[in-house]
Amino acid sequence: MPLLAIPFPTIDPVLISFGPLAIRWYALAYIAGILLAWRYMIVSVRNKALWNKTPHPNTTDIDDFVMWATLGIVLGGRLGYVLFYNLPYYLDNPSQILAVWEGGMAFHGGMLGMVVALFLYSRVRGLSALTMFDLAAIAAPIGLFFGRIANFINSELWGRPTDVAWAVIFPNGGPEPRHPSQLYEAALEGLLLFLLLRLLSHRFHLLQKPGVLTGCFAIGYGCARIFVEFYRVPDAHIGYLSGFLTMGMLLSLPMMILGTALVVWSLRRNAPKNKDVK
């Protein structure tokens, strides 16, 4: 064990309980992420300097979308975990599929759920789907940050054994100090990606080019996730798919490819049209 290994902080995953009812940090993280992302989207649509003459939703549109987003994230995240990470277990135990309080959410599933919610809501309200995607993209890192902090509190999704000075000894991770990979993800997928997208939206005004920020989010998340996967232990029931390849890497690669294609397409679509000189 390295001399400076950090013992896991004594944080109970259950904040408070009333008999059978328990309020968990994990649930609070989802609530905080959704509410703060909603407020950030509200502030963004009110900032006229970000839009110029670009059509965009109003605050009522964002308010009404919160429930759609919540359902998309929760249902998609749970179904994604069931399908991508532990399908044989849930086929044998179908009653556990809805037991969200016991853990088991997948980001890629939550993202797909959000995509469906965004498409449907945009169609119902007659809004630009790409603009709604961009607003969700710049706010999504807020939820990712809180979600990864909750993973750390739950002592789940920890990293590989290491001798770095900031290694953590997780209570359910054996005696070896491990990379706090949840905190790496909180920093990269959450804080760094948020700052990058804010720079692109506020300094370079890319909300005026619908689709670009969505593509940048997909690229940024994919890069961050693949990087951290080299330090994170894959799910025990899946392990490595081939060599160093993990399920997280496999699901992130299409995101990066589609994100790159969307950025290129959106920039070309929104490029100024040259006028013939007469």
Q: Which residues are annotated as a binding site?
A: 148
Q: How far apart are CA 67 and CA 65, in angstroms?
A: 6
Q: How far apart are CA 64 and CA 118, in angstroms?
A: 12
Quote the tokens at residue 139: 């706010």
Quote the tokens at residue 171: 């209570």
Q: How far is CA 151 from the centre of its chain?
A: 13
Calculate the alpha carbon distances from 173 to 104, 170, 187 in Å: 18, 5, 22
Phi, psi of 118 (to 5 degrees): -65, -45
Quote the tokens at residue 185: 């993800």
What is the DSSP secondary structure assignment for residue 23, as one 8-state letter? E
Quote the tokens at residue 207: 């909300």
132, 57 Cβ separation under 8 angstroms: yes
